[in-house]
Chain A
Amino acid sequence: MSKEDNRRMLLEKALKEYDFQASALLEILHKAQSIYGYLSKDLLMDIAQSLHLPPSTVFGVATFYSFFNLTKPGEHIVTGCLGTACYVKGSEQIMQAIEREFNVKRGGTTADGKLSLFVTRCIGACALSPAIIVDDEVIGKATKEVVIERIKQLLGGSNQ
Chain B
Amino acid sequence: MSALTVKLKIDNIEVEVPEGTTILKAARDNGIEIPTLCSLEGLTNYGGCRLCLVEVKGAPKLFPACTTPVSAGMEVITNSEQLREYRKMTIQLLLSERTHVCSVCVANDHCELQSLANKLGVDHSIFERNWTRKEIDSSHDFLVIDRNRCILCTRCIRVCDEIEGVHTLDLKQRGRKAEVIMDLDEDWVNSCSCTSCRKCAKVCPVGAIYIEGEPITRTKNKDVAEFILTRRQRK
Contact = CB atoms under 8 A, between A and B. Distances in A.
B117 interface: no
A90 interface: no
Contacts of A45: 184
Interface in B150-182: 161, 166-174, 181-182
A56 B182 contact: yes
B193 A60 contact: no
A54 interface: yes
Contacts of A55: 183-184, 192-193
B184 A56 contact: yes
Interface string B181-199: 1111100000011000000
A93 interface: no
B172 A59 contact: yes
A41 B192 CA distance: 14
A57 B173 contact: no
A56 B181 contact: yes
Nearest to A63: B172
Given A54-B193, A55-B193, A60 B171 contact: yes
Given A41-B184, A44-B184, A56 B169 contact: yes
Interface residues of B, number: 17
Interface residues of A, number: 12
B220 to A, nearest CB: 24
B167 A63 contact: no
Contacts of B184: 41, 44-45, 55-56, 58-59
Given A41-B184, A44-B184, A45-B184, A56 B173 contact: no
Interface string A16-37: 0000000000000000000000
Given A54-B168, A55-B184, A60-B181, 14 more contacts: A44-B184, A54-B183, A54-B193, A55-B193, A56-B182, A56-B183, A56-B184, A57-B170, A58-B184, A59-B181, A59-B185, A60-B170, A64-B173, A64-B174
14 contacts: A54-B161, A54-B168, A54-B183, A54-B193, A55-B183, A55-B184, A55-B193, A56-B167, A57-B170, A58-B184, A59-B170, A59-B183, A60-B181, A64-B171
Interface of B: 161, 166-174, 181-185, 192-193
